Amino acid sequence: MNKLKEALKNNTPSYGAWIQIPHPAIAEIIAHNSNGKLDWICIDMEHGSIDIETMTNIIRAIEKYGIVPVVRVPKNDYIWIHRVLDAGARGLIVPMVNSAEEAERAVSEALYPPMGNRSFGYCRANNFGADFDEYVQSANDEIAVIIQIEHIDAISNLPWIFTKKGIDGTFLGPYDLSGSLGVPGEFYNDRYKKCLKHYVKCSNENNVPMGVHVVRSTKEQIDLFVNHGYKMIAIGTDAVFLEEKCKSTFEGI
């Protein structure tokens, strides 16, 4: 069972990390030093400079540690969704989903017929055809589909977005959401806090697990989000880990 999808299904917290630097060694270092605390690692194809080949090699590195490889695709596009799944991603984060129709499109392209429109083909995910039948039969149950809620339009459309089947969870985009309100980064602004309250309320009413990225994380911040009901917690980024360790090391010289 996909550990991330299982955690979302059971409404229990799962923890991940975030990769933007295009090298599989980054995933190996993070996974090896996570002391078994990570359930998943997200490869960010929307921001950063990771290409499809490097992404595939990073997936290989993540799999070696029994961690679920998740990919944030650049956009809600069937070509990107199909390609990252074919490469072996077991979870998708689809950015900027602002309507029920866009949510339905994301889910549909992630699932094989008759549940969706994902195309069939020999690929790395099915061991280049050797496990084709087994993979096709299990993929719809194994792939975790996460949509990002990061615009005022998405907040307004949440009641309709949540009517669509196949959404395993949502992932909040605080900076883009605050930017769409005209107050980028102002997380204590009343308009932003009102949107956040609506997001939490709708998610709980529809039993859709919430996710959030704690970029500069502390244990207190992580515990705070867990206590507020967030179930999919992304901790830091590779660049932030490197930056913070460099600063703390060189400050002592």
CA–chain centroid gap for 242, Å, is: 21
For 36-39, which contacts have Cβ atoms below 8 Å and span 24 or more sequence positions?
38/67, 39/3, 39/4, 39/7, 39/14, 39/15, 39/67, 39/68
Token pair belonging to 35: 């002391």
Token pair belonging to 198: 């609506």
Token pair belonging to 65: 């540690």
Note if the bond before 69 is cis, omega within 30 degrees.
Answer: no
- Residue 19 Rama label (left phi>0; alpha psi -120 to 50; beta): beta
Catalytic residue among 23, 47, 151, 213: 47
Q: How far is residue 159's CA from residue 99's CA, in Å, rounded to a whole number?
A: 10
- Secondary structure element (H or E) that encloses residue 158, with its range: helix 158-161
Our answer to whether residue 228 is catalytic in this structure is no
Give the number of residues written for the chain: 253
Active site residues: 47
